[in-house]
Structure 1
Amino acid sequence: MSTPVPRERAARGRAVQQELRARAVAEGRLAADIAEALSDPALSRWRSANGFAVVDDLDRLAGPATGTVRVPDDLVRDTVPAEVDLTDPRAVSELYRVVLAEGTAAQQYALLNTALLTSVWAVGLAEAPVMRVWESRFPQLTER
């Protein structure tokens, strides 16, 4: 019996991942648009393996528009401190980038503000496949 070459192993791994995603969609555990994005070769391997969340209702975003935001410990990074001043556009963009990429839907609802999200929405805020899911669900993000 021969040992498969790395490319063959990688192809089998992708096929298994695709099958698992299809099953999750069929069972209602994964949204079809997110499953499609997770299969996009433009998505980083880390993001593809770890997934991402997208809220169902932009109008339910309840994050503050002014003041400071207390960032949950699991989202604090070198670029995102434990508290973010919402008057600092660069800090807001970085916070929103991390929340879009790594936050749960519950964290997105609690931390993101619709007006601020719309104001910072731009190419590069998240990986392109992630942005496409948000934009397909919420076309108003691209209307500014």
Structure 2
Amino acid sequence: MDTRSRYATARKYLTPDDLSELTGPSEGIVKLPIHLDWSEQGIYDLADDRQTGLMYERVIREAASVDDLRVYLNAATLCRLWGRLYLPIQARQVWEARFRALTRAA
């Protein structure tokens, strides 16, 4: 069995209790902390949907706490970009099971 598959299956993906908790920025430049993004990029221009999507993918995959989600994700932006985000199947399933609005947004 592929090691990545086992990791993705065992990984716990966090979600907030409600999408309204996601009050992160919807514009400007964001620098993610190293525990969320250890790449050379780390800085995202939210005026660019591709950069925003990449940032959201990293935050959803790597969030160490629900506070990471609250600080860096914005509910309206998440709903707008949801269908274009490249996420592990398990992460997508967890988020869509909790928030039906995301399923409709996709």
Q: 2:12 aligns with which of 48, 51, 68?
A: 51
What is the CA-CA distance between 1:128 and the residue it aligns to?
Answer: 1.6
Give distance in 2, aligned partners of 1:88 and 1:140.
23
1:84 aligns with 2:44: yes
TM score, norm. by length of structure 2: 0.82
Which of 1 and 2 has higher RCO (CA within 8 Å, sep 6+)? 2
What is the CA-CA distance between 1:123 and the residue it aligns to?
Answer: 5.9
**Letter of the aligned partner of 2:93 in structure 1?**
R
Question: Where in structure 2 are there 5+ consecutive unaligned residues?
Answer: none
Deviations 1:43-98 (A, max 9, x none): 832233442211111101111011111211111243x7232110111111111111
1:94 aligns with 2:54: yes
Give distance in 1, aligned partners of 2:99 and 2:12.
19
SS of 2:83's equivalent in the other structure is: coil
Give distance in 1, aligned partners of 2:5 and 2:85.
14
Counterparts of residues 57-136 of structure 1 (less than 5 Å):
57-78=18-39, 81-103=41-63, 104-122=65-83, 125-136=86-97
What is the CA-CA distance between 1:106 and the residue it aligns to?
Answer: 1.1
Give distance in 2, aligned partners of 1:123 and 1:133.
17
Q: Report the identity percentage.
A: 31
Deviations 1:22-62 (A, max 9, x none): xxxxxxxxxxxxxxxxxxxxx83223344221111110111
Question: Where in structure 1 are there 5+ consecutive unaligned residues?
Answer: 1-9, 11-42
* Shift in alpha-carbon separation, 1:110–1:131, aligned structure 2, 3 A: same
**Count of residue pairs the alignment pairs up:** 102
Residue 143 of structure 1 aligns with which residue? 104
TM score, norm. by length of structure 1: 0.62
